[in-house]
Chains A and B, each alone.
Chain A
Amino acid sequence: DAGVTQSPTHLIKTRGQQVTLRCSPKSGHDTVSWYQQALGQGPQFIFQYYEEEERQRGNFPDRFSGHQFPNYSSELNVNALLLGDSALYLCASSLPSGGTPDTQYFGPGTRLTVL
């Protein structure tokens, strides 16, 4: 069973740089959500992609952007990195809910450290 995968596992950047994180959803899933998890906190919703479009967005600045490809994989881009962007970035995949809730399966995450 192909679960949710993410790359890279760890990443170290300096302030002002840009970063791209990648996610491949669970087999059969076509919806990808991104979350930011700061140390000791619960995951915070960044945005969700479905049919290659951003369907919903959380309270994150425009420095956070994303993309979904025809094969349903997704990228999260963060520009002008700040120290506060250091966190575990989680990707979750699910089937489109269409009003019926569906389970979100998380990937292992990418640990981003901004120096």
Chain B
Amino acid sequence: GENVEQHPSTLSVQEGDSAVIKCTYSDSASNYFPWYKQELGKRPQLIIDIRSNVGEKKDQRIAVTLNKTAKHFSLHITETQPEDSAVYFCAARGLYNTDKLIFGTGTRLQVFP
């Protein structure tokens, strides 16, 4: 069935360090992979996404990589800041599943000043 695994569940880094969150998806037909940031009590907000026709996408301090062969995708945050502290969710969408998103279980990122 459809499944997205996300690791680690918690991640603590020092301000200025890099953070990496990894996800694995099961549906080889998936063609769209968004990442959402959710602060406590707030809505999930899209921070970056990647489509299956590219291997890497970068937006300032945030980058996402996709390995379709291995069915892995990762979020990279460089020069972390305390305001990056939140729960991050990866998701995958199947080609024949219209807009249904399958979410990972989340990673709680804490950035210590």
Q: Chain A: residues with CB nearer than 8 A to chain B?
A: 4, 31, 33, 35, 40-45, 48, 55-56, 58, 90, 94, 97, 99, 101-109
Known: A42-B91, A43-B101, A56-B97. 11 other contacts (CB 8 A): A31-B99, A33-B101, A42-B89, A43-B103, A45-B101, A97-B99, A101-B99, A103-B46, A104-B99, A106-B43, A106-B45
What number of A-B contacts does a CB cutoff of 8 Å give? Answer: 61
- On chain A, the residues within 8 Å of B42 by CB distance are 108
**How far apart are A47's CB and chain B's nearest CB, in angstroms?**
9
A45 contacts B102, C-beta separation under 8 Å: yes
B65 at the binding interface (Cβ < 8 Å): no
**How far apart are A51's CB and chain B's nearest CB, in angstroms?**
12
Distance between Cα atoms of A115 and B70 in the complex (Å): 44
**Residue of A42, A99, A103, A105 with most chain B CB atoms under a 10 A cut-off:** A42
- Our pick among B6, B44, B98 for the contact of A43 (Cβ within 8 Å) is B44
Q: Chain B: residues with CB nearer than 8 A to chain A?
A: 6, 31-32, 34, 36, 42-46, 49, 51, 89, 91, 93, 95, 97-106
**Residue of B44, B95, B103 with most chain A CB atoms under a 10 A cut-off:** B44
B99 contacts A33, C-beta separation under 8 Å: yes
**How far apart are A40's CB and chain B's nearest CB, in angstroms?**
8
- On chain B, the residues within 8 Å of A99 by CB distance are 95
B98 contacts A107, C-beta separation under 8 Å: no
A sample of 26 cross-chain residue pairs with beta-carbon separation below 8 angstroms, ordered by A number, consists of: A4-B43, A31-B99, A33-B99, A33-B100, A33-B101, A42-B105, A42-B106, A43-B44, A43-B89, A43-B101, A45-B100, A45-B102, A48-B98, A48-B99, A55-B98, A90-B43, A97-B98, A101-B93, A103-B34, A103-B46, A103-B49, A104-B101, A105-B46, A106-B44, A107-B43, A108-B43
**How far apart are B41's CB and chain A's nearest CB, in angstroms?**
9
Distance between Cα atoms of A99 and B103 in the complex (Å): 20
- On chain A, the residues within 8 Å of B44 by CB distance are 43, 90, 106
Distance between Cα atoms of A40 and B97 in the complex (Å): 25
- On chain A, the residues within 8 Å of B91 by CB distance are 42
